[in-house]
């Protein structure tokens, strides 16, 4: 495992982090037993992953509770980096809630579920259109200055939103979506983060399983969970185009003796500005397969081929 400096922390973080949305055992990713989730956590940590990312909205607190059970059972809290979030509300009928009172409730609830006194990386999950960035940033600064959190993060923020946030609070990290098919952050967001020493935890590196190729080449049925049901890249006309593109990428991956998933993850962890890549896993086999992305690199001539293939996809889909 490779480790990198993370802004605001005195510990380096693994280039692969574990995303735990599926541990929520809800309609978004479908059913998942806690025993399997705990096995995935153990397998991840055994193989060098030290960053675990969760959120209250994942299963209405259930994912945090599973992570908390794991921490209590395993111990060695000082060797792990725990990241969670706040700002999404399932109790009031409004999805977003970054009012001061809600933020105060959320941090205490997360600390209780996780069984921790201090949260390593605390992130605003999404901007709240009804709350000013100034208001939420000032509360995050309070948490930081009180020592309740070690690093302040935001997720799904634009450059302008980060700039506004930084007027009122230190900002150590950003969590955006990023993968071969979703590269919007390369234009402005990643350069801004590099320039301002903001660590980047990218999520959805395999694009809901699209970039593994399993739905295109392995006769794996597309699950009926909400995440995959809403993915346009698994529907026509994009499905057929993506199949052609993934076949070309797979040929390059085959030349390295790697699966498409390993190849895609390797490309992602070596992208400029990326600190760590959050990968999800439904079982121990999946998390083990992800480790094949480590310890090697893609040649420069193949990077150029990848760029040409991805440019072709954009033209075919008029993106």
The reply to whether 162 falls in a domain is yes
Catalytic residue from among 58, 122, 178, 203: 58
The three-state secondary structure class of 92 is coil
The reply to whether 303 falls in a domain is no
Residue 80, pLDDT score: 96
Calculate the average pLDDT of the chain: 94
Average pLDDT over residues 111-118: 97
- The CA distance from 23 to 280, in Å, is 9
| CATH code, domain with 195 | 3.20.20.100
Question: What does the CA dihedral 125, 126, 132, 133 come to, rounded to 10 degrees?
Answer: 60
Digit-coded pLDDT (tens) for 262-316: 999 999 999 999 999 999 888 888 899 899 999 999 999 999 999 999 999 999 9
Q: Where are the beta strands (DSSP E) in 43-182?
A: 51-53, 81-86, 119-124, 149-155, 173-175
Q: How many domains does the chain have?
A: 1
Label residue 225 exposed, middle or buried (CB < 10 Å: 0-12, 13-18, 19+). middle
Q: Is the pLDDT of residue 27 over 70?
A: no
pTM tops 0.75, yes or no: yes
The reply to whether 65 falls in a domain is yes
Q: Is the pLDDT of residue 157 over 80?
A: yes
pLDDT exceeding 90 applies to what percent of the chain? 82
Residue 33, pLDDT score: 87
Question: Containing domain of residue 112, as a range?
Answer: 3-212+259-297
Digit-coded pLDDT (tens) for 159-195: 999 999 999 999 999 999 999 999 999 999 999 999 9
The reply to whether 254 falls in a domain is no
Active-site residue, 168 included: no
Residue 1, pLDDT score: 95
């Amino acid at each position: 495992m490779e480790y990198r400096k993370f802004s605001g922390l005195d510990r380096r973080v693994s280039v692969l982090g574990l995303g735990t949305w599926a541990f929520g055992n809800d309609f978004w990713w479908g059913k998942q037993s806690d025993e399997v989730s705990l096995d995935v956590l153990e397998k991840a940590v055994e193989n060098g992953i030290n960053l675990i990312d969760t959120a209250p909205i994942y299963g209405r607190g259930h994912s945090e509770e599973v992570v908390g059970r794991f921490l209590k059972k395993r111990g060695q809290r000082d060797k792990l980096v725990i990241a969670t979030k706040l700002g999404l509300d399932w109790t009031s009928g409004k999805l977003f809630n970054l009012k001061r009172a809600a933020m105060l409730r959320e941090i205490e609830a997360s600390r209780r579920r996780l069984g921790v006194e201090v949260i390593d990386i605390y992130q605003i999950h999404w901007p709240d259109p009804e709350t000013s960035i100034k208001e939420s940033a000032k509360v995050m600064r309070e948490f930081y200055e009180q020592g309740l959190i070690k690093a302040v993060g935001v997720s799904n923020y634009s450059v302008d939103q980060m700039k506004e946030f930084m007027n009122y609070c230190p900002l150590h990290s950003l969590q955006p979506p990023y993968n071969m098919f979703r590269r919007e952050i390369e234009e402005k967001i990643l350069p801004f983060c590099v320039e301002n020493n903001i660590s980047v935890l990218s999520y959805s590196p395999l694009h809901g399983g699209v970039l593994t190729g399993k739905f295109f080449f392995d006769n794996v049925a597309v699950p009926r969970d909400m995440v995959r049901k809403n993915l346009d890249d698994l529907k026509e006309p994009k499905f057929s185009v993506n199949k052609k593109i993934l076949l070309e990428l797979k040929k390059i991956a085959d030349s390295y003796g790697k699966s498409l998933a390993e190849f895609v993850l390797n490309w992602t962890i070596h992208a400029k500005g990326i600190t760590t890549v959050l990968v999800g896993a439904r079982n121990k086999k999946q998390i083990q397969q992800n480790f094949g992305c480590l310890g090697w690199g893609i040649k420069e001539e193949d990077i150029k081929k990848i760029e040409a293939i991805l440019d072709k996809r954009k033209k075919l889909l008029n993106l």
